[in-house]
Amino acid sequence: TAKKLGIDPEVIELYGKYKAKLPLDLIQPARMPGKHLILVSAINPTPAGEGKTTVVSQEILSAMEAGEKIVWYNAELMPPRVKRSIILQAVGGDYVGVRFDPRRGREVPYVAQDCAERVSEWMRGKIYLCEDNVSELAFDSDYLLKLFGYARRRLGCTVAVVDNVMTALMGAPDNAYLRAQENFAAALKKLATSLAMTVHLVAHPRKTRESLTTDDVAGSASLTRLCDLSIAVSHGKMTVLKDRSEG
């Protein structure tokens, strides 16, 4: 399978017959043809995160480099924070420094202003970051679907990101949470398929353990049943839990 996908078998870390971890630099839009709904989750999440958004950001940067336009919704962070994170990843380690942030009480990475401005200019017109009033804890899935539709038809966006679905739906009642999650994912899949978009859906696993199965994501297997590609992230590597093109 690796050879059919053009991947060097030497870089693969096998987990049984059907799972493997792959280096993050293999993420390229051209390797994901026909994938309309891509689910990104994590193994053994930590307070600082395992890199789910990092994985998505890398694919997004590759997509922008290839001429694709992106629409990005983040249920936790405001657009300026998301943009800073993407810029940090875009410039690479050689252009990232570290300085002490008295407000946070720790050292944080930063990019020199002139470098950040050049990257920001390169991103202009390629990515659209959606603003959400997180203080209200109210998520309107219909509005977001309409927004993605508008971004596709009027702005030419072919890639969308929802980061993350758990926080986005936190306003739903407990007994309706999983149903709302499944309905939202199904609506995203329908929209993505009809408009020829690729949607990246970032999710948290429902429990922590050394291995992750498709049933562990988000407390329900519904997301992984709906998605075309399911990726789990752990310690800088990713595991493909499901790839519809491979069965």
Mean pLDDT of all residues in 36-40: 65
Give SS3 for 176: helix
Around Cβ 115, how many Cβ atoms within 10 Å?
14
Over residues 117-170, the pLDDT tens digits come to: 999 999 999 999 987 654 444 567 788 888 999 999 999 999 999 887 666 665
Separation CA 18–CA 167 (nearest Å): 31
Over residues 17-30, the pLDDT tens digits come to: 666 666 656 655 54
**Quick check: 246 and 31 in contact, CB under 8 A?**
no
Supply the DSSP string of 88-116, one letter for each residue.
Answer: HHHH-GGGEEEEEETTTTEEEEEE-HHHH
Separation CA 36–CA 188 (nearest Å): 9
**Quick check: 243 and 227 in contact, CB under 8 A?**
no
Separation CA 110–CA 38 (nearest Å): 30
Structural tokens at position 126? 């390629």
- Run of H or E residues at 1: none
Model pLDDT, residue 221 = 64
Q: Which among 165, 197, 189, 245 is positioned nearest to 1, based on CA atoms?
A: 245
